[in-house]
Structures are given as structure tokens and as C-alpha cells.
Structure 1
């Protein structure tokens, strides 16, 4: 959450990014929300710079600041965007200013940046705390935090406890100023799998507080700048390695094309490294004299960050999905975000209980990541709007595993979920009939119950708006094929709450045999305990199920005909 990082993001913010998706707020509410988010970011800045505490990841912090400046552009165009609250207590002047590094958003920007540049080198963008090391007459005389880039805090007293920092150097480095990253040493850290693990916050917190020496021995140093050092980059790496800064040489590679840079970036993102990283940095060997370095003025280096594991998402709306068994799931509609190769517009929160625990309302800012098999998930709420205008979920008392086999206004979603299930490959395998097809058929034909579609003729289907004669014939053929499915498939279409292992072992071939089973008989099947046996008895003896079984008998469905 360093100030230069945010500063360069602000400087590189494009008009298109700033204008992205203005909220539908009144001016009064916009002012209120902007003020609240400004206050939250300011408090996080204070916590970070004064205490070394990081309440959120750098990526999410940056995205929230992007969101804030977008709102300011929407509702206060022309005004200066909100700046980072730099609250460092640093008073010691850097011999050479820290410039920071420009962030390039994508491969196209990288290709444009490297155009016409020569003698380029790439290094991992090590995630830690930026420092200055000052050597005079071969001895370390100063260890400074980056601070505001011009002045930093004097951490020299802690240098003796950090074994990774050489206290004595020789040769060209005897009188030198070095800039680099103080980082938390790791073993086989794979960035893509493990993420940032708050590495920067751990280092910053340790340096800002009185802690034991053992913690400081866990830190390493990666030197990424030697102002006024040798112009030959390879020679610079060799000299740094000779005095104890070997990581710089070990993790620097010459590059000349976008392909070579992209290849290194992908390799380091997926490989085991000795530090946490958040991207790749490209250096041009030729750089100006250190006396000309200023915060925000570096043109000879740039960073291409990794895609964030989490993305900030704006909650645009909240809806409720009812499954075939009556379970209610909360679904958030999002301002579209890109996660890996997926464009995510919706995310399932889970139960109503979890939604209420998370306390999510439209306008809130949440973090979303990809769970197993690439399924989007909600991680946390990072900022809440002041107006908590949340919709009311359906009444769960009216939705059960035995409700909505018959159509009713309050049953629409559960009824359609039951239709979608029965046509799935796990039940009747009615190919080419999706949830949207069921909605179309139900809207036009006003199904009375779950199996009303069996009454439709090919002519009935052809009369439905939007269904061509060829499509009508195709759907009717699939319905006809479903009639031939075996008894067990129809039990699955009903949604009989029986485990697959029990269904495979069951020898019943007629509905009457199921009616004759008591709880003990059900428990004789594998995977059926006392509670499930009670549910099965209640299910097959339900009046709605009785009527549907009788209907299937009249339709001549195998296993139901008397």
C-alpha cells in the first residue's frame, strides 16, 4: 500500500477507467459515499504508515482507490482526484530520491513501452518494503525507509539484526547509495497458488515496532537500484554479488521482446521463488544521474503486475434463486469483472443465512476470487455503502422438498427448477430443452403440474411464439423419447430423496412397491438412515405425489400403470 504505488496509479489513470460505471446516486448521496470511502482509505493509510498494519491487500486497496476516483470523476468532474494520505514520520533525507515504478496494465502497454528501448533487463517485482542503504568508506551508515520518496524513517538501529544486509562492502560500493526491497524470506513460494500472504505488511510492521531479533533474521534484501553505479548492467550485477547482494544477479535476465518478458513473467508466476512477488519489473540499463531522480519521474523502468487473485466487485443487485428442493440461494449481480479468463457478472453467495452474516447490500464493494473448478466465490465485503437497501428473500416456510410440484404464483422459481432437473442428463435426459425452453413452454402453455408437458402435441408446440415447426418436431420427439425411460429415471425426475447407491440396489419396479415400504424397509437400503427414511415415507405418501403418480399411470408410463 505504498504511497508511490498509489501515486503512479493515479497518474496513469485513464479517462475511460475513471468514467467506468457511474453509480445511480443523487448528488447528496454521492457526496456522502465519497466522503465515507475517503475516510476509510485515509485510516488505512494511517494504519499502514504509522503502525505497519495492512488491513487489506495492495491490489484491493488500489482497486478501491480506483473506484473512489471514478466516483469523484462522475460527480465532481474537473476536481483533483483524492490523494494518498502520506503520514510517514520520516525526516531523514534520501541521498537519492526513490522514483517509484510506472505500472503497465497489459501486454499492449508493455510492447509500446519497450519500443525503441535497448539493453533491457527483467527482474521479479519483489513484494516487501522499499529501503535505502547508504555506505561510506566501506561501512553501512544508514538504513532508511522509502517514506515519501524524498525523506524516510531512519531504521539504522535495526540493520545489525538483519543478517541479509552486509555491514561492510568494498571496491566501487564502498561509497554508494543502494535502493532495494526488504522482504520476508520464503521457501518455494508459488505466487499463483499462494498469493501475497500479506508479506509487505509483515515486514513493515516489524520495522515499525520493537520486536525480537529472530523476526528480523527472517528478512532478505533485493537490490534493484544502484544510482550512479556502472552503466554496464551485467558489471553492476557482478559487483553487487561480490559484496553479498547475490539475489539481484540470480534473478535478473536480459530481455528484448514482449515474448521474452511475458515468458519470464509467466514462469516466475508459476514457479517456486524465495520471496513473494506481485509482477515483473523491466529496467533499461541506461539511466540518468541520481541527482535527477524524483518521485514519479522514472522513465527507464516499468512494472507489469500479475493478475490479482482477487478482484474488487461492485454489487449492482441481489436476487434469489430457488432450487428444486426449496433451498434458497442468494445471487449477486456484479459490475462485470475479469478473473483469469472468465468474465464474471454474477456470483452465488450461498444461503440466506450466509448473505445476512456477510451483510451485503447493493452498492457494496466485495472481493471475488475463483474457487475450485473456476467457480466465482465471494471472499469478503471490503466496504459498505451507507444506504442498506436490501431486498427481502422468499419465505422459506412455503418452500420445501414437497412444495411446488404444481404450478402457483409463489412457486415459479422452484417449479422451473424442478423442470430443469427432470430434463437433465441425471434424470430423463431430454436433450435440447434448457431452463429457458421450459420458461417459454410454461409461459405459453400454463403447465398445471410437473409433467403437464406430456400432454403437448407437436401442433401445440408449433403454435407457441418463437418455436418453428422444425423446433416443435424436435422437442416433441425428445418428449416422446422421455416416455420410454425406465422406472428409475422417472423416480429421479420426481426428485425422490434417495441416494444413488440405494437406487442402484433397489429392486422395486412399480410405484406400489414404494408405497408399501415403511421406514424400516427404506433403512435396509445403503445410505438411508432414520431421518432420510422418514423423508422417503413422507415423500411417496404426499397427496401431490399420489396425484402425479396417477397422472403418469394414465399416460402409460412404465412402473406407474396399474
Structure 2
């Protein structure tokens, strides 16, 4: 088995694992399936009947895929869900529309391309698929794709579309072409301009009873010639002679997935005359037209662009508590790809917003990327019938003076306080992340926010995941905080001072800080009467005073040790510190 094949199978099994069946009763499963089917059919009628797009294509596709998963789980004998066109089609396609296989990534493209050369790549033009039928050189049918076997005859609209030749120089009895009617654009860049609802505009213009002015702005991209010339080069040359010259300018030979990726990105960023949603890879030669079947095509495959918005299922909801006691809400979602990011968590912000959105596990949500690539919720696109809401923490129990001690009900805020003081611009504990603190909290001696100052490496080395060397490194970083300036200790404690006031603070000891009056606090920038009162109350809190007393005792002990060390003759570094990478102390 080749390396690419093994990786492909790994991805395949990983995808299957993510599609595990919901733990529903048969009754609930039937209700959820029926309700989602009803919604999908409603969107179908709006799109195919009225030319209105009520949900983005990618979100629709994801919901339909989810419905098929549910059917596979609970209704395995049922036919997989498929879109239903309102008119159901009245005209037979002389050759079926097969559609194209959709590939998720470059690895899948590489696997699909194996043994299929020569190959060509084209932009995947975002429009409306049609069949053109010419008899003795005259256009006699313009058939919508429909279900691939039947569609509607839009021939009366063809006269208003200049891009469609009413007659061609080829006079054979029957000539059949398949392609995409698209809205022509000027210097359209997919990366910045997006889809612009182009497909729905085309569909709407074709379905209106009266001719729409938009018809004159349509182009045609021919991507298949059933039983036409044998090779892509021959087909494109012949199409140009017939008056269909758009595709030839956008058809490139490719030999591997890297070249496909190159063209895909180039067309994503370049100025094009149409909207695209990816690329399509074609084999040079195609099978006989009589073998074409809807949904069965291994001779062409699409690699679509990552949509700007994707959908995912909410798996659970977390309620993190910040160091100041603020409770927020975070959705844990099934992993999805957005741009170059794998998204697993989406922040909602406040508890109030979560309650207003009324999101529960099982709901389907649309996710996009905000500034700096941060995932954010766009909207809820589907809600499960059974609404099991998680219970968030009681907001009244958490505030800026809660959770200086390590208790079970305080674990989240306590960890947030520890993560805060680890930061480079606070006490600067390099490499000591939230996960490190979680391990250390297993120690029975980790009682309050600054208990770590008295820990020994032998204690830390007893914890799972912490080697003796790592334990020595951690304790070394702990000991280095004694060199941090006073302002950083004030910041680590969490005194509610704005940055401007902290930077201007002249105090260098805790007694000086604690002796300040309300008036003296107001002399600092950014501190008014209300904030001064809050700071004064905060510093008089019993827990805060205990923390300050502990810090003072520890700092005094460190000074005593330092004085004792200076009184001794200089000694080489003890063996247990050798091999530790010690950075310079920050200020």
C-alpha cells in the first residue's frame, strides 16, 4: 500500500468516526429526520421555483449530508435524501448529467488522480447547469439540469441570451453539449468578491415567466461534449469553431496534485469573467454517453474552495470563568476547516448572548472567520427538536474577589488567575501554560493562588507528565519571579488598576500601596472616584490581605536566603541544575 493510499484511508476512517450516530430513540430520530427533510424541501422550492437563495449552498449541502447520516443510522432501508425540484422535470435529457465527485483536500485529489492521466483542470464555474441540443445545426432544446435525467425546457429564453448560438456550422443530426450558464463579471476576484449570489440570479432569470434583462448578461461554459471528439485538445478546438470559446481559455493540463493546487489558488486570486467555487479535474477521454448515470462519475472530480462560512454540529457548551469572575460561553463543535484553520471551539461571549441564541447540543450552526482569523458564530441554521440545555455556573458566585483559593467550585476562575500571572508581561513564567497548572493542582499543598512559590522540584516530579528535569525547570522559573518589579506583583494579584495607572504607580512596597487614601488613588491617570473606592475596597478584602501577607513573607525569606548565600564562598552550580536552559529574568 502506498503512503498516499494509507493517508487517504486514515482520513476516510477519521471522517467515518466523526459521523457517529446520535443517541436518539427511534421516535425522536423519525421526528428529527422528518423535520429536517421538510426544511430542505422548503429551501428547494424557494431556490428552484422562485430563484431565491434562503441558505448558502455550502450550508445546505452540509445539512443534507447530515440528514443522510441520520438516515443511514436510523432508516438504512430508505433512499438517501436528495434535492427535489418543484417542477420535477418534464423533458428527458438525451444524455444524463452525471455531476462530479467532490474531493475534500489535496490528499484526496492526489489519490483520485492516480492512474488517470492525461488530466486537465478547469475553474468550477458557479452557475446553472444545462443541456444544449442541436439538430442539423439548429438549437432545439435548452434543458435545465433538474435531477440529471429530466429537466425543464428553457428554449424560449435562449433567444435572449446572445452567448448561446441559435445555429452552429455542424449539421450532424444531433449534437449534445453540457455546460454552465453563468452571470458574466468584470475582473471578478473570488478571494475578495465571493459568490455575490450569482447562481441564484441566473436561476431566477431563467425561471421568470417574462424575459429578464439579466439574460443578456449570461455566458456559457461548456464542460462536457457527450460522444464528442476523443481528447480534450480536440474538443476545445472543435468547440471554438462552433462558437463556444470560453472554456478553451480556462483549460490547463495537469500532471499531479501540486499543479492542480497551483491553478486552484491562481484562479481564486485572479480576475475572472465569472464566479467560481473551486476547480474541476477532467480525464482526457470520457466513456460513451450511454453509460453516463447521475451521481456516478469517476472521470471528473471537483476540489471546491473552502467556503467563507461552514456549518458544524454543536457537541457541547462550556462556560469558562475569567480571572475577574466574568462567565462566558463557548461552543464545542465537530471539527471543520475554515481557510487554513481547523475550528473546534467558537466563543459566543456572554451568558446573556448564549441564552438569547438558545443554542443546545445537536444544533447546527454557521461559522465564519472574523478579524485576525478568529472563528465566530454567524447564525443558527438548524435546531434539534429536543432542547436539552446545560446548566451554567451561578453568576452571583463569581466576581473579582472570588476564588483565590483552590476549591472544586472555583477551579475555572482559579485556573484563569494562574494563567494570567504566567503571562510574559505579568510574572513571566515561560512554558507554564494552563495545562501545566492543571497538573500542579493535583498536589494537596496547592491551596491558594501563590502556593506554587514554596513548591520543590521533588514534589512536582511525582505528578504524571512531569519529568524530574521538567520539575527542576519549573521550580527554577518560580524562583526567578523574586526579581520581578513590584508593579508586576500588583498586576499578578489582580488589583483592578488600569494600565495607565499601574505604569504611573510610584509605590515599590506593599505597605506603601496599602497606605494609599482614596484621594491619592485619584491622582493616578484613569482613576476616578468610583474606581478609587473599588480599589480601596478590593485591597481591604480579607482574602487579598492574606495573599499579600504570604507574598511579603515569601519575598522576605528569599532575601534572607540571598543574604546567606552571599555570605558563603562562591560555589559552582549544583549538579541538579545542570542541563537547565535558564533565560534572562524579565523586567
Q: Give me the TM-score of the superposition, normalised by structure 1.
A: 0.85
Matched, 1:67 2:71: no
Which segment drifts farther, 56-65 or 422-431? Answer: 56-65
Matched, 1:81 2:80: yes
How far did 1:41 drift? 2.2
1: CA distance between counterparts of 2:195 and 2:216?
Answer: 20
SS in 2 for 1:390: coil
How far did 1:258 drift? 3.5
Instruction: Label 1:347 to 1:372 Cα distance change in 2 as closer, same or farther (>3 A).
Output: same
SS in 1 for 2:417: helix
Number of matched residues? 548
The answer as to whether partners of 1:483 and 1:557 remain within 8 angstroms in 2 is no
1: CA distance between counterparts of 2:233 and 2:467?
Answer: 71
1: CA distance between counterparts of 2:551 and 2:373?
Answer: 40
Name the counterpart of 1:42.
Answer: 41
After superposition, the C-alpha distances for 1:273-325 in whole angstroms (9 at most, x for unaligned) are: 33222222222343355565443454543323334444432222222110101
2: CA distance between counterparts of 1:210 and 1:511?
Answer: 82
Matched, 1:424 2:423: yes
Name the counterpart of 1:147.
Answer: 146
The answer as to whether partners of 1:121 and 1:253 remain within 8 angstroms in 2 is yes
Name the counterpart of 1:360.
Answer: 359
After superposition, the C-alpha distances for 1:84-108 in whole angstroms (9 at most, x for unaligned) are: 3343353233344323223344445
SS in 1 for 2:311: strand
Q: Give me the CA root mean square deviation.
A: 3.6
After superposition, the C-alpha distances for 1:225-258 in whole angstroms (9 at most, x for unaligned) are: 2334444533432443456533211111123434
Instruction: Label 1:508 to 1:257 Cα distance change in 2 as closer, same or farther (>3 A).
Output: same
Name the counterpart of 1:449.
Answer: 448
Name the counterpart of 2:573.
Answer: none
After superposition, the C-alpha distances for 1:376-434 in whole angstroms (9 at most, x for unaligned) are: 33332222111111112112222222322344443221122101211221211123433
Matched, 1:484 2:475: no
Matched, 1:415 2:414: yes
Instruction: Label 1:114 to 1:435 Cα distance change in 2 as closer, same or farther (>3 A).
Output: closer
* Mapping for residues 205-216 of structure 1, pairs under 5 Å: 205-209=204-208, 213-216=212-215
1: CA distance between counterparts of 2:214 and 2:523?
Answer: 60
* Mapping for residues 358-397 of structure 1, pairs under 5 Å: 358-397=357-396
Name the counterpart of 1:495.
Answer: 494
2: CA distance between counterparts of 1:556 and 1:285?
Answer: 77
What are the ranges of 5 or more consecutive residues in structure 1 without an aligned counterpart?
A: 1-12
Name the counterpart of 2:4.
Answer: none
2: CA distance between counterparts of 1:518 and 1:46?
Answer: 71
The answer as to whether partners of 1:132 and 1:180 remain within 8 angstroms in 2 is yes
The answer as to whether partners of 1:18 and 1:66 remain within 8 angstroms in 2 is no
Instruction: Label 1:19 to 1:530 Cα distance change in 2 as closer, same or farther (>3 A).
Output: closer
The answer as to whether partners of 1:18 and 1:70 remain within 8 angstroms in 2 is no
What are the ranges of 5 or more consecutive residues in structure 2 without an aligned counterpart?
A: 1-11, 560-587
Name the counterpart of 1:317.
Answer: 316
2: CA distance between counterparts of 1:384 and 1:140?
Answer: 47
* Mapping for residues 68-467 of structure 1, pairs under 5 Å: 68-107=67-106, 109-135=108-134, 140-170=139-169, 176-209=175-208, 213-241=212-240, 244-288=243-287, 290=289, 293-457=292-456, 461=460
* Mapping for residues 488-527 of structure 1, pairs under 5 Å: 488-515=487-514, 522=521, 525-527=524-526
SS in 2 for 1:332: strand
2: CA distance between counterparts of 1:464 and 1:115?
Answer: 49
How far did 1:472 drift? 4.1
The answer as to whether partners of 1:124 and 1:251 remain within 8 angstroms in 2 is yes
Q: Give me the TM-score of the superposition, normalised by structure 2.
A: 0.81
Name the counterpart of 1:4.
Answer: none
